[in-house]
């Protein structure tokens, strides 16, 4: 017990939590892309988004982490579940994988992975000379209503238009089948 | 140097997430699966913004604001895409992208 508490300094505990969060993100993403059943894909996406929220916690932004869970897990995943229910039934047999397509996709994605990875390895990042230490939610609110007020209003307009467009597109006319 | 105090860790994580999403967009054939992969790509972009915001940016609130905007746009995009998927299913009785060939000459 004493040995364990000696091993578990705050740093190692935080690192362990961080590795766990990274694992959640990547394993969830792999399930979201790799599983054959579309419902498993959505569940994998949920797991991955929880992991991303944990990463945002490690990046000093609890508010954005909360919004991630609220918007992505709470709204988008549920909306995708509704779309699954309204479209193809799950019991239908799915066509077999197209080998050429899988290989082509892995090749293309792998090429981009190698390119961006080498780019990341080569780049030297320099932080800004003067960095403010103001991370608070109050400041985010001030920014939203002063510097970024126009974008804020545009986003609300965009959401309204998207909502109307979604209703019009999905309804497709009452009379026709 | 702790693992979560380095910019590189987050950038590599975002890269892995982006590549997984890209593979999904290219390889999957169900429209809903493609939408899920696009969400993964958007999340990779968000992680990049937040990482630069945490380690490099002069004003650490700005990156959070931009990530919030990304989320709002992603929500709008998901709503539109899902309604299009429902409409396509009603028209073609399938959400496989290889079946949607009405415009082929």
ipTM of this predicted complex?
0.92
Mean pLDDT estimate for chain A? 89
What is d(CA B66, CA B50) in angstroms, rounded to the nearest whole number? 9
* Local confidence band at A174 (pLDDT 50, 70, 90 cut-offs): very low
What is d(CA B40, CA B18) in angstroms, rounded to the nearest whole number? 7
What is d(CA B20, CA A109) in angstroms, rounded to the nearest whole number? 8
A52, A121, A172: best to mutate for the B interface, most B CBs within 10 A: A52
For A91, list phi and psi in degrees, rounded to 5: -80, -10
Q: What is the pLDDT of residues A28-78, one digit of tens each?
A: 999 999 988 899 999 999 999 999 999 999 998 999 999 999 999 999 999
Q: Tell me, what's the pLDDT at A142?
A: 92
Q: Tell me, what's the pLDDT at A89?
A: 79
B30 strand-pairing partners: B96
Chain A: residue nearest B44 by CA?
A: A52
* Closest by CA position to B63, among listed A130, A152, A59, A154: A59
Query: By mean pLDDT, which of A92-96, A137-141, B38-42 is the weakest?
Result: A92-96
Please report residues of A whose CB lies closer than 8 A to that of B54.
Answer: 59-61
Q: What is the pLDDT of residues B88-104, one digit of tens each?
A: 888 888 888 888 888 87
For B61, list phi and psi in degrees, rounded to 5: -85, -20
Residue A173 above 60 pLDDT? no
Mean pLDDT estimate for chain B? 91
Q: What is the pLDDT of residues A15-36, one digit of tens each?
A: 999 999 999 999 999 999 998 8
């Amino acid at each position: 017990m004493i040995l364990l508490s000696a091993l578990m300094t705050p740093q190692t505990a935080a690192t362990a939590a961080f590795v766990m969060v990274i694992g959640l993100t990547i394993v969830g993403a792999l399930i979201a892309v790799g599983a054959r059943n579309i419902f498993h894909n959505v569940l994998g996406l949920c797991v991955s988004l929880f992991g991303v929220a944990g990463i945002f916690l490690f990046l000093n932004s609890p508010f954005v982490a909360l919004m991630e869970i609220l918007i992505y897990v709470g709204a988008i995943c549920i909306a995708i579940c509704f779309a699954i229910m309204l479209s193809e039934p799950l019991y239908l047999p799915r066509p077999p994988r197209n080998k050429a397509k899988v290989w082509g996709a892995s090749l293309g994605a792998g090429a981009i992975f190698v390119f961006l990875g080498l780019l990341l390895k080569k780049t030297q990042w320099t932080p800004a000379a003067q960095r403010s230490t103001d991370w608070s939610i109050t400041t985010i609110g001030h920014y939203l209503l002063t510097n970024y007020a126009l974008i804020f209003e545009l986003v609300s307009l965009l959401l309204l238009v998207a909502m109307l467009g979604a209703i019009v597109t999905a309804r497709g006319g009452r009379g026709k089948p | 140097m702790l693992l979560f105090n380095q910019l590189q860790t987050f950038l590599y994580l975002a890269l892995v997430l982006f590549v997984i999403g890209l593979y999904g967009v290219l390889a999957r054939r169900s429209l809903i699966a493609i939408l899920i992969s696009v969400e993964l790509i958007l999340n990779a972009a968000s992680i990049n913004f937040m990482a630069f915001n945490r380690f490099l940016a002069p004003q650490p609130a700005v990156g959070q604001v931009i990530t919030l905007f990304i989320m709002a746009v992603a929500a709008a995009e998901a709503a539109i895409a899902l309604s299009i998927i429902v409409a396509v299913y009603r028209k073609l009785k399938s959400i496989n992208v290889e079946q949607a060939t009405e415009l082929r000459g």
